[in-house]
C-alpha cells in the first residue's frame, strides 16, 4: 500500500519535474530569444507578417509588443506597413507605456501618408491630451499635429491652445513646435496661432522659450512688435535656456536688434551703444563658453552683426576653440572664419600658428587653412607662413600641393619683400621630381615674372630673366603640358630683353631662346595642343626678333619645319593658328605661307615693326585669381559652406536710421527694477553665507516656478517648516501640488486657466523663498539664480503680486490683464 503510494508519489514528482522543466525551458527559450537580440526582428523573414494582425488583436501585451516591434522593424526596412493602421490604432489606448510609445511612433510615420486613416484615431488623441502623464500628452499632440488633413485644423488649434497652457513646460514646448505644422496645414488659423504665440512668449520657463522662438520665426516673423515688451526678459533668461533654444532665441533677438534698435557707433569721444543692445550683448557673452558649437556660432553672429568692432575680439578665442572639437566642425568653422577674415584680419593674426596644416587634416580643411593663412599674412609673420606653405608643397594630396604653391605666389604679391624668397623656393620646386609640383611652380613663376617685368625696375628684371633662362634650360624636364606651354610662352615673350650680364646673346635674342625652339620642334608631334600653339608663336617671335642674327638662317629653317608640321596637324586650332601666323609674317618671311597662292594674296602686308607690335604688345598681366567668394555671404548660413547661394537664405535686416523708442520695451516685468534699492536693503537681512552662495550662482534653477516642484504644503506652513519640507520636496508630484494648492485657496473657478496656476505657483515660490530666508541650505539649493539682481527682485515682485491677487481675488491669465495689473502696482 505504502509502496504503491510511494510509487504514485514518485511518479507525480517526476511528472511535475518534467512539467517544470518544460515550462522553464520554454521561458528561457523566449528569454534567450529576446536577450540575444532584437535584431531577429530586423532579420526576420517577411512570412511572419501574417501573424502581426493576429498578434495586434490578441489580449496579451507581450504579443502586442512583439507585433509592434515587428512593424517598426518593417518600417526600418523601408516597407509600407500602412495596412495595419486600423489594428494599430486600436492599441493607442494601451495601458502599457512601451506599446503606446511604439504605436505613437508608428502613427507619426503614417499620419502624414495616411491622413484619412489617421482621422480614425483623433478621438483617442483628444482623450490622451488629458492624460496625467506629460509624456503622453506631448506625444498625443505631436501625432495630432502630424496628421495632414486641413479638415482637423481647428481641432489641432484647440489642442495646441490647451497644451500651451499645460502645467508641464515640456508639453508647452511641444505645443510651440506644433504651431508651425498647424500653420503649414491651414494658414487661415493665423490669428489664433499668433494669439497662442503671444501667450507662450510670456512663459516663465526657459525650457519652452526656445521653441516659441521657432514658432515665431515660422509663423509670424514680421510681428516683431510682439517682442517689444518681452525683449529684456528674453535677454535675461538667455543663459538658462537649453542649448538648442539658445540658438533659436539668439537669432530672433539679433533680428530684433537689427530692426528695432539704433545702430551702435564708434566715436572718438566714446562708443555710442543703446542700453538694450548692450543688454543683449552682455547676456550673450557668457554663451561663448558653451560646449555646443552651434551656440558659440550664434553668439558670434550676434557680436559680428550687432556689436562694435572693438568687441569682436571676444569671439576670436571661442571660434578658435571650435577648431579642435571635431574634423567636421573644424571644416565648417574654417568657412566662417574665411567670411570674417575677409573683413577683419587682425583678430586672428596673433593666432596664425593654429592654422598650420596637420597631415591628417581632410582635404577641405587643408585648402581652407591655406586660404586663411593667406588672409592673415603680414610683414611680421610672412617668414613663418611662407615656410609653412613651402612645407605643404610636399603634401601627398595634389590639390593641396597646387594650392600651397599658388599661395606662395600670392605671398610674393602681398608682401613684396618676400619675393626673392618665394622665387627661390619655386625654382627649387622646379627641380623636383614631382610632376604636379613642377607644373604648378612654373605657372606661379610665370605670373610672378610677368608681374615683375611689367613693373620693370631694372634690378628685379635681372633676376626674372635669369629665372626664365633657368626655365628654358630645364624645358626637357618640364613635362606637364600647361607648364610647358607656359615656359615656351615666357621664352618667346622675353627672349628679346638681354642684359650684358646675361651675355652671350647676339643682337636681340638671348642665347637660350633658339635652343628651346630647337628642342620643341623636335618633339612637336608628340606635344599637347596648347604646347603646339605656343611653339608656333615662339617660332614667329624669334623670327621677327632675329634680324641680322647669325641664327637667322637656322631659325628660318626651324620655323618653316614647325609651320609645315602645323599646317597638316590633326587639330583645327593648330592648323588655323599656323595659317594665321604665317600670313601675319607674310611681309617678313613670305616663304612660310602657302607658296601657291602667294601671288594672289591681297590686303595689307605688315612690316617687321608692325608684326612685332602685334606679337608682343598688349599682353594683359595675368593675375592669380583670388578665391571668388561672394561678399554678401552670411555667417552661419549654409551658403557660406557649400559656396552656393540659394533663394531661401535668411536675409539680415539693415539697421534702421534710428531705433524705435526704448519705452516700447518697458514692460511690467521690468517695473520692479526701479525698486532695486529696497530689495537690496532687505538682502543682507535675508542673508547668511548661504544667500551669498545663492547669489553667486549664475545658472540656477530656482525662480523658474514651473520647472520647480515644491512640496505639497507650500502655503501656510511656517518659515522653518517650509524650508525643511522643501528640501525633501524636490520629488513631489506636480499635479498633486496643484490640486492641493488650489483647494487650499478654495478656488472654485473650474475654468481657470492652468497658466494661471503656474503663475500662482511662481508666487508661492517667491513668497516661500522670502519666508524661509534664513534657511541658507534651502536657499542655495533652490539656487535662486540671483546673480542678477533683477531676478532676486522678481521674487519680491511676485510676492507683491501675490498680495495683490489675494486682495483683489482675480486671476490674471493673458497679457492685457497682466498689464492692467502691473499698473496697479504702479499706482501703489
d(CA 809, CA 299): 43
Q: Residue 393 gets which letter from DSSP?
A: T
Q: Least Å distance between CB 3 and other proteins?
A: 41
Q: Annotate 630-651 with three-state secondary structure.
A: CCCCCCCCHHHHHCCCCCCCCC
Is 752 near other proteins (CB under 8 A)? no
User: DSSP class of residue 357?
Assistant: P
Q: Choose between 234 and 535: whose C-beta lies nearer to other proteins.
A: 234
Torsion of CA 434, 436, 441, 442, to 10 degrees: 100
Looking at residues 41 to 60 of the shown chain, list those that interact with other proteins (rule: CB under 8 A).
41-42, 60
- For the bound state, the minimum distance from the C-beta of residue 694 to other proteins, rounded and expressed in Å, comes to 10
Q: Taking each helix axis from N to C terminus, what angle separates 513-522 and 458-473, rounded to the nearest 10 degrees?
A: 30
- What is the rounded CA–CA span in Å between residue 107 and residue 146? 9
In the beta sheet, which residues pair with residue 272? 265
Q: What phi and psi, each to the nearest 5 degrees, are found at residue 594?
A: -70, 115
Q: How far apart are CA 748 and CA 745, in angstroms?
A: 9
Q: To the nearest whole angstrom, how small is the minimum distance from the Cβ of residue 548 to other proteins?
A: 45
Q: How far apart are CA 71 and CA 664, in angstroms?
A: 55
Nearer to other proteins, 609 or 739 (CB): 739
Least distance (Å) between residue 731 CB and other proteins: 4
Binding of other proteins by 305 (CB under 8 A): no
Q: Which of 120, 155, 158, 320 binds other proteins (CB under 8 A)?
A: 320
Residue 596 interacting with other proteins (CB under 8 A): no
**What part of residues 647-666 is at the interface with other proteins (CB under 8 A)?**
647-650
Among 17, 317, 661, 684, binds other proteins (CB under 8 A): 317
CA–CA separation, 230 vs 213, rounded Å? 12
d(C-alpha 519, C-alpha 818), whole Å: 93
Out of 700, 723, 762, 790, point to the residue binding other proteins (CB under 8 A): 700
Stretch that binds other proteins, among 196-204, 346-354, 494-502, 504-512 (CB under 8 A): 346-354
Angle (CA) 742-747-751 rounded to 5° is 95
Q: What is the DSSP string of 113-178?
A: H-HHHHGGGHHHHHHHTT-S-HHHHHHHHHHHHH---GGGHHHHHHHHHHHHT-SSHHHHHHHHHH
CA distance 144 to 155: 9
d(CA 158, CA 347) in angstroms, rounded, equals 52
How many residues are present in the chain?
828
Q: How many residues bind other proteins (CB under 8 A)?
A: 139
CA–CA distance, 74 with 135 (Å, rounded to integer)? 25
Among 275, 550, 642, 743, binds other proteins (CB under 8 A): 642
Rule CB under 8 A: which of 362-421 touch other proteins? 362-364, 380-381, 384, 387-388, 391, 394-397
For other proteins, the closer CB: 779 or 800: 779
Contact 216, 180 (CB under 8 A): no
Per CB under 8 A, which of residues 204..243 are in contact with other proteins? 207, 211, 214, 218, 239, 242-243
* β-bridge mates for residue 265, sequence order: 272
Q: Are 633 and 339 within 8 A, CB to CB?
A: yes
Burial of 762 (0-12, 13-18, 19+ CB in 10 A): buried
Pick 339 or 566: Cβ nearer other proteins: 339
Site residues for other proteins, 238-267, by CB under 8 A, read 239, 242-244, 247-248
Binding other proteins (rule: CB under 8 A), the pick from 19, 327, 431, 518 is 327
CA angle at residue 535 from 530 to 536, to 5 degrees? 100
318 vs 451, beta carbon nearer other proteins: 318
Binding residues among 496-525 for other proteins as defined by CB under 8 A:
none
Cβ closer to other proteins: 39 or 604? 39
Which residues between 467 and 496 bind other proteins (CB under 8 A)? Answer: none
Query: Of 246 and 815, which has the nearer Cβ to other proteins?
Result: 246
| Dihedral sign (CA 200, 204, 205, 211) | positive
Least Å distance between CB 160 and other proteins? 13
* Residue whose CB is less far from other proteins, 286 or 816: 286
Supply the angle between the helices 134-146 and 153-164 in degrees, to the nearest 10.
Answer: 150
In the beta sheet, which residues pair with residue 656? 262
Q: Give residues 419-458 in contact with other proteins (rule: CB under 8 A).
A: 433-434
Angle among Cα 207, 209, 214 to the nearest 5 degrees reads: 120
Chosen residue from 37, 310, 678, 808 binding other proteins by CB under 8 A:
37
User: For residues 765 and 791, what is the distance between their CA atoms, to the nearest angstrom?
Assistant: 13
Query: Which of residues 267, 459, 628, 644 is near other proteins by CB under 8 A?
Result: 644
Q: How far is the CB of 487 from other proteins (least distance, A)?
A: 20
Kindly indicate which of the ranges 459-467, 589-597, 638-646, 756-764 contains the residues binding other proteins, using the contact rule CB under 8 A: 638-646
Q: Which is nearer to other proteins, 318 or 668 (CB)?
A: 318
Site residues for other proteins, 98-157, by CB under 8 A, read 98, 101-102, 104-105, 108-109, 112, 132-135, 139, 142, 146
- Applying the rule CB under 8 A, the residues between 676 and 695 that interact with other proteins are 693
**Among 318, 505, 668, 766, interactor with other proteins by CB under 8 A:** 318
CB 757 within 8 A of CB 813: no
Q: Smallest gap, in angstroms, from Cβ of residue 289 to other proteins?
A: 5
> Per CB under 8 A, which of residues 772..811 are in contact with other proteins?
777, 780-783, 787
Which C-beta is closer to other proteins: that of 174 or that of 412?
174
Binder to other proteins among 48, 53, 58, 61 (CB under 8 A)?
61
CB 174 within 8 A of CB 210: no
Question: Interface with other proteins by CB under 8 A: which range of 154-162, 358-366, 369-377, 576-584?
Answer: 358-366
Burial class (CB in 10 A: 0-12, 13-18, 19+), 443: buried
Q: Which of 639, 667, 742, 770 binds other proteins (CB under 8 A)?
A: 639
In this chain, which stretch among 23-31, 419-427, 550-558, 612-620 interacts with other proteins, using CB under 8 A?
A: 23-31
Cβ atoms of residues 740 and 799 within 8 Å: no
According to CB under 8 A, which one of 120, 224, 605, 641 is a site residue for other proteins?
641
Interface with other proteins (CB under 8 A), residue from 7, 10, 25, 34: 34
Q: Grid cell 629665372 — which residue?
A: 467
Q: Could you report how far apart the first and last alpha carbons of the chain are, in Å?
A: 102
Cell of 200: 507662450
Q: Which uninterrupted H or E stretch holds 669?
A: none
Candidates 8, 78, 270, 595; binder of other proteins (CB under 8 A) is 78
Residue 310 in contact with other proteins, rule: CB under 8 A:
no
556 near other proteins (CB under 8 A): no
Please report, as residue ranges, which positions from 271 to 290 form the binding site for other proteins (by CB under 8 A): 286, 289-290
Q: How far apart are CA 156 and CA 170, in angstroms?
A: 18
Query: From the list 53, 170, 565, 666, which residue makes contact with other proteins (rule: CB under 8 A)?
Result: 170
Stretch that binds other proteins, among 326-334, 527-535, 667-675, 814-822 (CB under 8 A): 326-334
Picking from 703, 712, 694, 711, the residue whose alpha carbon sits closest to that of residue 778 is 694
Q: Which positions from 720 through 749 interact with other proteins, judged by CB under 8 A?
A: 730-734
- The single residue listed with the C-alpha cell 511656517 is 718
Which C-beta is closer to other proteins: that of 15 or that of 223?
A: 223
Nearer to other proteins, 108 or 622 (CB): 108
637 touches other proteins by CB under 8 A: yes
What is the C-alpha radius of gyration for the chain, rounded to an integer number of angstroms?
40
Interaction between residue 72 and other proteins (CB under 8 A): yes
Amino acid at each position: 500500500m505504502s509502496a504503491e503510494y510511494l510509487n504514485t508519489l514518485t511518479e507525480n514528482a517526476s511528472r511535475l519535474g518534467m512539467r517544470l522543466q518544460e515550462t522553464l525551458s520554454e521561458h528561457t527559450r523566449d528569454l534567450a530569444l529576446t536577450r540575444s537580440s532584437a535584431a531577429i526582428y530586423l532579420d526576420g523573414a517577411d512570412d511572419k507578417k501574417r501573424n502581426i494582425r493576429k498578434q495586434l488583436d490578441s489580449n496579451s501585451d507581450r504579443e502586442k509588443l512583439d507585433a509592434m516591434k515587428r512593424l517598426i522593424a518593417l518600417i526600418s526596412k523601408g516597407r509600407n506597413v500602412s495596412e495595419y493602421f486600423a489594428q494599430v490604432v486600436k492599441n493607442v489606448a494601451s495601458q502599457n507605456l512601451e506599446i503606446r510609445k511604439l504605436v505613437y511612433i508608428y502613427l507619426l510615420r503614417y499620419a502624414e501618408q495616411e491622413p484619412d486613416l489617421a482621422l480614425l484615431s483623433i478621438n483617442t488623441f483628444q482623450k490622451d491630451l488629458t492624460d496625467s502623464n506629460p509624456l503622453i500628452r506631448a506625444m498625443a499632440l505631436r501625432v495630432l499635429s502630424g496628421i495632414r488633413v486641413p479638415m482637423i485644423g481647428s481641432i489641432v488649434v484647440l489642442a495646441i491652445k490647451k497644451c500651451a497652457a499645460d502645467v508641464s513646460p515640456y508639453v508647452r514646448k511641444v505645443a510651440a513646435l506644433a504651431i508651425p505644422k498647424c500653420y503649414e496645414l491651414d494658414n487661415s488659423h493665423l490669428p489664433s496661432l499668433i494669439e497662442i504665440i503671444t501667450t507662450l512668449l510670456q512663459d516663465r520657463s526657459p525650457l519652452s522659450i526656445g521653441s516659441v522662438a521657432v514658432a515665431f520665426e515660422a509663423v509670424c516673423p514680421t510681428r516683431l512688435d510682439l517682442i517689444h515688451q518681452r525683449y529684456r526678459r528674453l535677454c535675461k533668461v538667455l543663459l538658462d535656456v537649453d542649448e538648442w533654444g539658445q540658438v533659436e532665441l539668439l537669432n530672433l533677438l539679433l533680428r530684433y536688434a537689427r530692426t528695432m534698435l539704433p545702430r551702435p557707433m564708434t566715436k572718438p569721444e566714446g562708443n555710442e551703444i543703446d542700453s538694450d543692445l548692450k543688454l543683449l550683448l552682455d547676456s550673450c557673452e557668457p554663451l561663448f563658453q558653451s560646449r555646443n558649437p552651434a551656440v558659440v556660432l550664434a553668439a558670434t553672429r550676434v557680436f559680428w552683426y550687432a556689436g562694435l568692432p572693438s568687441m569682436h575680439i571676444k569671439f576670436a578665442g571661442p571660434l578658435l576653440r571650435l577648431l579642435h572639437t571635431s574634423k567636421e566642425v573644424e571644416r565648417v568653422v574654417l568657412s566662417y572664419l574665411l567670411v570674417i577674415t575677409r573683413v577683419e584680419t587682425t583678430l586672428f593674426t596673433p593666432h596664425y600658428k593654429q592654422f598650420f596644416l596637420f597631415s591628417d587634416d581632410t582635404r577641405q580643411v587643408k585648402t581652407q587653412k591655406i586660404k586663411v593663412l593667406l588672409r592673415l599674412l603680414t610683414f611680421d609673420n610672412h617668414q613663418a607662413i611662407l615656410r609653412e606653405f613651402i612645407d605643404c608643397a610636399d603634401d601627398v594630396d595634389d590639390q593641396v600641393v597646387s594650392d600651397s604653391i599658388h599661395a606662395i605666389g600670392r605671398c610674393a604679391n602681398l608682401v613684396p619683400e618676400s619675393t626673392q624668397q618665394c622665387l627661390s623656393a619655386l625654382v627649387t620646386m622646379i627641380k623636383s621630381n614631382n610632376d604636379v609640383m613642377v607644373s604648378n611652380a612654373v605657372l606661379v613663376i610665370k605670373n610672378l615674372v610677368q608681374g615683375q617685368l611689367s613693373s620693370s625696375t631694372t634690378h628685379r628684371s635681372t633676376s626674372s630673366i635669369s629665372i626664365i633662362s633657368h626655365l628654358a634650360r630645364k624645358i626637357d624636364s618640364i613635362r606637364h603640358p600647361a607648364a610647358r606651354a607656359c615656359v615656351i610662352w615666357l621664352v618667346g615673350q622675353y627672349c628679346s630683353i638681354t642684359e650684358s650680364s646675361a651675355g652671350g646673346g647676339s643682337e636681340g635674342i638671348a642665347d637660350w631662346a633658339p635652343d628651346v625652339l630647337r628642342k620643341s620642334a623636335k618633339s612637336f608631334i608628340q606635344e599637347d595642343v596648347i604646347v603646339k600653339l605656343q611653339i608656333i608663336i615662339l617660332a614667329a617671335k624669334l623670327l621677327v626678333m632675329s634680324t641680322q642674327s647669325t641664327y637667322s638662317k637656322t631659325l628660318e629653317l626651324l620655323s618653316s619645319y614647325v609651320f609645315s608640321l602645323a599646317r597638316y596637324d590633326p587639330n583645327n586650332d593648330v592648323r588655323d593658328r599656323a595659317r594665321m601666323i604665317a600670313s601675319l609674317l607674310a611681309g617678313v618671311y613670305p616663304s612660310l605661307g602657302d607658296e601657291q597662292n602667294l601671288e594672289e594674296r591681297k590686303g595689307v602686308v605688315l612690316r617687321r615693326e608692325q608684326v612685332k607690335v602685334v606679337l608682343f604688345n598688349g599682353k594683359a598681366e595675368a593675375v592669380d585669381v583670388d578665391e571668388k567668394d561672394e561678399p554678401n555671404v552670411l555667417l552661419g548660413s549654409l551658403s557660406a559652406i557649400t559656396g552656393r547661394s540659394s533663394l531661401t537664405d535668411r536675409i539680415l535686416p539693415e539697421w534702421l536710421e534710428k531705433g524705435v523708442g526704448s519705452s516700447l520695451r518697458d514692460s511690467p516685468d521690468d517695473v520692479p527694477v526701479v525698486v532695486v534699492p529696497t530689495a537690496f536693503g532687505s538682502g543682507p537681512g535675508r542673508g547668511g553665507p548661504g544667500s551669498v552662495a545663492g547669489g553667486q550662482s549664475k545658472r540656477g534653477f530656482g525662480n523658474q516656478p514651473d520647472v520647480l516642484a515644491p512640496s505639497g504644503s507650500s502655503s501656510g506652513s511656517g518659515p522653518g517648516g517650509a524650508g525643511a519640507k522643501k528640501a525633501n520636496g524636490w520629488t513631489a508630484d506636480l499635479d498633486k501640488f496643484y490640486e492641493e494648492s488650489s483647494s487650499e485657496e478654495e478656488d472654485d473657478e473650474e475654468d481657470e486657466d492652468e497658466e494661471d496656476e503656474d503663475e500662482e505657483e511662481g508666487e508661492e515660490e517667491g513668497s516661500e523663498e522670502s519666508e524661509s530666508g534664513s534657511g541658507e541650505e534651502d536657499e542655495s539649493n533652490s539656487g535662486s539664480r540671483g546673480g542678477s539682481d533683477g531676478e532676486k527682485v522678481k521674487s519680491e515682485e511676485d510676492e507683491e503680486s501675490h498680495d495683490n491677487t489675494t486682495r483683489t481675488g482675480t486671476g490674471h491669465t493673458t497679457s492685457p490683464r497682466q498689464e492692467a495689473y502691473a499698473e496697479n502696482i504702479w499706482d501703489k
